Amino acid sequence: MMASQLITLNINMALINLSKSDYIKGLQCPKALWFSKNQRDLKLPLDEQTKSKFESGNEINDLARQYFLGGVKAADDYFDISKAVTSTKNLISQNHEIIFEATAQIENDGSHARIDILRKSDGKNGWDLIEVKGSTSQKPSHLNDLSFQYHVFVEAGYKINNTLVMLLNNDYVFDDKLDIGQLFKLEDITQEVIEGQEEVRLHKDNLQKSLKGKLEPKVKIGAKCFEKDGHHPECDFKHHCWKNVPEYSIFNVTTRKKTAETIIDEIDSYEVNDIDVSNYEKGIKELDIICYQTNKTHIDKEKLSEFVSDLKYPLYFLDYETFQLPIPIFQRARPYQQIPFQFSLHIQEKPNQELSHFEFLHQEKSDPRKDFIQSLINNCGDNGSIIVYHESFEKTINKQLARDFPEYSESLLNLNKRVIDLMVPFQKKYIYSPKQQSSNSIKKVLPAFTDLSYQNLEIKSGGDAMSIYADFIKGKINLDEDLIKNLLEYCKLDTYAMVKLLQKIVKFSQK
């Protein structure tokens, strides 16, 4: 082979070798994979919530290793694939039976994979692949992960007998000491992995061909750009590919993203104003489109009146803030259990009467639930409607608290019997403004009907509040005066927002 041919071969090899992460990204969108290799500058920096998820993943992996006694790590340098491959082989030759971050590479194309745990099969020749996941149930992406890893290890010469996903056990209840044996559960997906191998080879070949191209692949934006299954977030490059799509587009006014793709192809536009609703009987949010195109608010006075008639004074406008940890640290807590640490309560004794306000925020690095429960029960009275926004959240928290603290069970479950969901009139379109942009979120509904919004707050979302408090509980930050003020202001606006929205509903019901 001539030198020039060798150079060309090496360039191609550099272009087409795939890691597991590359493969998963490419499955979602070949263009995203191409960008990640050729235009990395387009990728936005990680936000704090994503960083926190990575930190949690590392913590879970460290704990998972305690499940397997006698394990050794293949290599410390995460990015030195060659060294990790050699180290894995050396550890096997030294008769190690459990290897963490074992790495294999296919010689002819450079594709490589690192498995969280490589375990000698019990009573058999060969090995088990075990991938640790920071979730409590299997997701489609887990099968994709292990299918690619199986492909690489087998093609690299390993005999693989079983492939398993290691999950957190959401039935595990923390007591005085963390029980690693109970914290995790292993689920065998060997058969599914083997059955999907032909598809893996096909996808891998297509992605390698795509990466050889000098130009980005032609891939239409659409459903693939959004979160797939709770494991992979929105595409890293969505902001770039969607730069010419309006903030409020046809993707907002269809019941399925695939339907939006079809309509966009048919009319060659993303604009809601370009849809002729008479052409589509199913799959579109007809009312949303009509309200947007006519710039009119829809009001069903009769339905709003029925909703208002169910309210019983005094009215208690209630909102919770919670945090969750993958690894429980409080007694009677489970993996990812929502732990309430704060609530805001606006109270109106009679119609048109001045509001009173009570707020609770647990400020110690300890389990907030008992103090939360006592304050909640003491301030919610024995009668009157408890108004929340998206009732399944508060009701679920109350049920979990009743389960974990049975001494308060009756009082907590009685609160649930009084709950009225203020989201219902917006969700069922008794009232709808085009300013909502097809969203029932209180963050969109509030500025659509009032002059209030969350934009001027330091904390703008429940996710931000959750992350801040989780960092406090983990000892990463302190709750200083500013953070306390910001947390209280955010939660207070949630309940005051409900007060103002109910006032609008009452007004429209009487017109």
| pLDDT tens figures, 93-119 | 999 999 999 999 999 999 999 999 999
Helix or strand run (H / E) with residue 290:
helix 286-294
Whether the CB-CB separation of 413 and 402 falls below 8 Å is answered with: yes
Whether the CB-CB separation of 348 and 355 falls below 8 Å is answered with: yes
Torsion angle in degrees (nearest 10) through CA of 218, 148, 103, 81: -10
Band (228; pLDDT cuts 50, 70, 90): low
The two tokens of residue 213 are 């191209």
Nearest residue to 319 via CA among 459, 198, 462, 159: 462
Give the residue-averaged pLDDT of 487-507: 98
pLDDT score at 151: 98
Band (318; pLDDT cuts 50, 70, 90): very high
- Tell me the torsion sign for CA atoms 431, 433, 439, 440: negative
User: How far is residue 183's CA from residue 170's CA, in Å, rounded to a whole number?
Assistant: 8
For residue 226, CA distances in Å to 49, 232, 284, 433 come to 17, 9, 18, 25
Nearest residue to 11 via CA among 32, 31, 37: 37
For the segment(s) 302-509, the CATH number from 3.40.350.10, 3.30.420.10, 3.40.50.261, 3.40.50.300 is 3.30.420.10
Whether the CB-CB separation of 277 and 347 falls below 8 Å is answered with: no
323: β partners: 339
Nearest residue to 318 via CA among 359, 369, 373, 370: 359
pLDDT score at 226: 78
Nearest residue to 150 via CA among 135, 165, 140, 138: 165
Domain ranges of the chain: 3-212, 244-295, 302-509
Nearest residue to 495 via CA among 322, 362, 348: 348
Q: Is the pLDDT of residue 8 over 60?
A: no
* Digit-coded pLDDT (tens) for 259-311: 999 999 999 999 999 999 999 988 999 999 999 999 999 999 999 999 999 99
Q: Strand, helix or coil at 258?
A: helix
* Digit-coded pLDDT (tens) for 231-244: 445 788 999 999 99
Q: Is the pLDDT of residue 1 over 80?
A: no
- Identify how many contiguous H helices and E strands the chain contains and give both numbers: 20, 13
Domain 3-212 has CATH 3.10.530: no
User: How far is residue 266's CA from residue 282's CA, in Å, rounded to a whole number?
Assistant: 15
Cα angle 394, 390, 295 (rounded to 5 degrees) comes to 160
* Digit-coded pLDDT (tens) for 148-178: 999 999 999 999 999 999 999 999 999 989 9
Q: Report helix, strand and coil shares of the chain as percent, to nearest 5.
A: 50, 15, 35
Looking up tokens 């010689």 gives 107
Helix or strand run (H / E) with residue 37:
helix 30-38
The two tokens of residue 389 are 């926004």
pLDDT score at 233: 57
For residue 59, CA distances in Å to 46, 55, 64, 65, 74 come to 19, 6, 9, 10, 18
Whether the CB-CB separation of 190 and 165 falls below 8 Å is answered with: no
Taking the model in full, what pTM does it have?
0.91
Q: Is the pLDDT of residue 3 over 70?
A: no
* Digit-coded pLDDT (tens) for 434-448: 999 999 999 999 999
* Digit-coded pLDDT (tens) for 181-226: 999 999 999 999 999 999 999 999 999 999 998 899 999 998 888 7
For residue 23, CA distances in Å to 228, 234, 266, 510 come to 15, 16, 32, 58
How confident is the prediction for the chain on average, in pLDDT?
Answer: 93
pLDDT score at 53: 83
Band (76; pLDDT cuts 50, 70, 90): confident
131: β partners: 165
Band (79; pLDDT cuts 50, 70, 90): confident
Q: Strand, helix or coil at 285?
A: coil
CA 210 vs. chain centroid, Å, equals 29
pLDDT score at 16: 67
* Digit-coded pLDDT (tens) for 112-138: 999 999 999 998 899 999 999 999 999
* 458-466, Cβ contacts within 8 angstroms, sequence gap of 24 or more: 458/482, 458/486, 458/489, 458/490, 459/486, 459/487, 459/489, 459/490, 460/490, 462/321, 463/49, 464/490, 465/321, 465/342, 465/490, 465/491, 466/321, 466/322, 466/323, 466/324
User: How far is residue 217's CA from residue 232's CA, in Å, rounded to a whole number?
Assistant: 21
pLDDT score at 12: 43
CB neighbourhood size of 171 (10 A) = 10
